[in-house]
Structure 1
Amino acid sequence: MIKGLYEAHLPVRNLLKSIEFYKKLGLEVAYQKEKLAFFWIEKGHSWIGLWETDKVDTPYHPSLRHIAFQVDIENMGNAKEWLEQKGIKIKTDFGFPPEKQPLVLSNNPHVHAAIYFQDPDGNSLELMTPLKLDFEGEFHMMSLEEWNSKK
């Protein structure tokens, strides 16, 4: 029945500024009104809605104001450089400096590579790719480079 996520929504303070940011990520505007814009993530399959609202002042929590975009493993290796070329700062919330990213996270029993950043309104964004599903074992968070060297 359920085949994927079709849409997600984020609050923004200035819709035009946010439109420019999401265009830098390579997303295409699908629909736009005065205080709302939708961007295709994958045309015809998933999109993100940006709403200009004062709700942007709602404090961040992982259950609110967060979206993870799936990327291919081939692209994850250069995600840091791709973001930096666009002038987008990488988050270091987990204590890993930008040069040690992307990160590898244990979401037991799965392993994912991820890199976090924010839009102009502080919404948490993530590029993420699965590395192993049904992984047996525990490990501490590490860089993708460290993960690849242990293969």
Structure 2
Amino acid sequence: MIKGLYEAHLPVSNLQNSIEFYRKLGLDLAWCDENTAFFWIEEGKSWFGLWEGNEYETRYHPSLRHIAFRVSYEDLKESLKWLDSIQVEAVPFGNRKSIEPFIRPHQGNASVYFKDPDGNSLELICYVEVSNELKHITDKLSFVDWEERVNNTFK
């Protein structure tokens, strides 16, 4: 199931300064908003996130206790069955109620979350090819909703 490391995170005190620094290293900015930025290490395979916060947040930010493992799209569709088979419970992401894997079209990825025995946040994530017609979608979509939109867009 696990193919590699998809993402790791770092807390930063000034997002813009950090963006400039990592661009100088030759990394491509993949996605950002007002508090976070993601840079590709290997496009479609691995990236890392920068999370801006105050001094307390940069020392204790949840991003310091989170990593994501790269999986295939098909494996992610079967991830709940796999987690269940190894007796690991999936958990909802953020304020979502559902544990089902979901697609983030605007970021071009899909994921499901779970925790290790110490409560560290773990994620199975895959790259998702998103056409320009669908990149504006910021909602988190189920695989069923996503595949329906993709099929309707290209009929």
Which amino acid is 1:67 matched to?
I
Aligned to 1:33: none
Counterpart in 2 of 1:65?
Answer: 65
Length-normalised TM-score, structure 1? 0.53
Residue aligning to 1:127: 124
SS at match of 2:90: coil
TM-superposed deviation, 1:71? 0.4
Whole-Å separation in 2 of the counterparts to 1:68 and 1:85: 20
In 2, are the aligned partners of 1:60 and 1:123 still within 8 Å (CA)? no
Q: Partners of 1:60 and 1:82 in 2: how far apart?
A: 29
Query: Higher helix proportion, which one?
Result: 2
- Report the secondary structure of 1:149's partner residue: helix
RMSD (Å), alpha carbons:
2.9
- SS of the residue 2:147 aligns to: helix
Count of equivalent residues:
94
**Identity level (%):** 32
Unmatched runs of 5 consecutive residues or more in structure 2: 9-58
Amino acid at match of 2:96: G
Q: 1:133 to 1:147 in 2, by over 3 A?
A: closer
Consecutive unaligned residues in structure 1, runs of 5 or more: 9-57
- Aligned position for 1:76: 76
TM-score between the two structures when normalised by the length of structure 2: 0.51
* Residues 97 and 138 of structure 1: CA distance in aligned 2, closer, same or farther (over 3 Å): closer
Query: Could you list the per-position Cα deviations for residues 62-84 of structure 1 after superposition, in whole angstroms to 9, with x for gaps in the alignment?
Result: x2111100001121110111001
Aligned counterpart, 2:102: 103
Tell me if the contact between 1:90 and 1:117 (Cα under 8 Å) persists in the aligned partners: yes
Which stretches of structure 1, 4 residues or more, deviate above 6 A after TM superposition?
Answer: none
Q: What displacement does 1:139 show?
A: 3.4
Quick one: distance in 2 between partners of 1:146 and 1:96? 17
CA contact (8 A) 1:104 1:141 kept: yes
Equivalent residues in 2 for 1:2-151, closer than 5 Å: 61=62, 63-93=63-93, 94-98=95-99, 101-106=100-105, 108=106, 110-132=107-129, 135=132, 136-150=135-149, 151=151
